[in-house]
Amino acid sequence: CGKQVTRDFPQFAQDHQLGPLLDRVAGLRLCVGYPAHRVVKQARYLLNHVGRMIPEMRKIFKHFAVDEDFVYRIGSEDEEIGTIRSDKCKIESEQGSDICSACRSLQQPIEFQ
């Protein structure tokens, strides 16, 4: 996706203790978005044809994108390409999770007004 994870470690700057720094770095995980292959294929199709939709529907599809740089493999299967990410993906996942809060918000129902 081309974004960099930037993080400050002020405690390390003060005491130069390597142990706590390594613990924090080991806890960093990248957001995987939603890599479900079938859903990604459907999202690609919809985003490629968004120009054919009515304006009210277009508003919904501007909140996410398919990240074609994401490559993964489940078990010994072939590599799959793509994941669905929020347009505000933070790249770094929440602590103890594999997804960021912005991508998690894609699970929330959309209210039509």
Render pLDDT for 69-112 as a digit per residue (tens, 0 to 9): 999 888 877 888 999 999 999 888 888 788 999 999 888 776 65
Position 3 scores a pLDDT of 61
* Lookup: tokens for 90: 């933070």
CA distance 56 to 110: 12
CA distance 101 to 107: 10
CA distance 3 to 103: 15
Position 41 scores a pLDDT of 95
Determine the average pLDDT of the residues in 30-44: 91
**34 pLDDT higher than 80:** yes
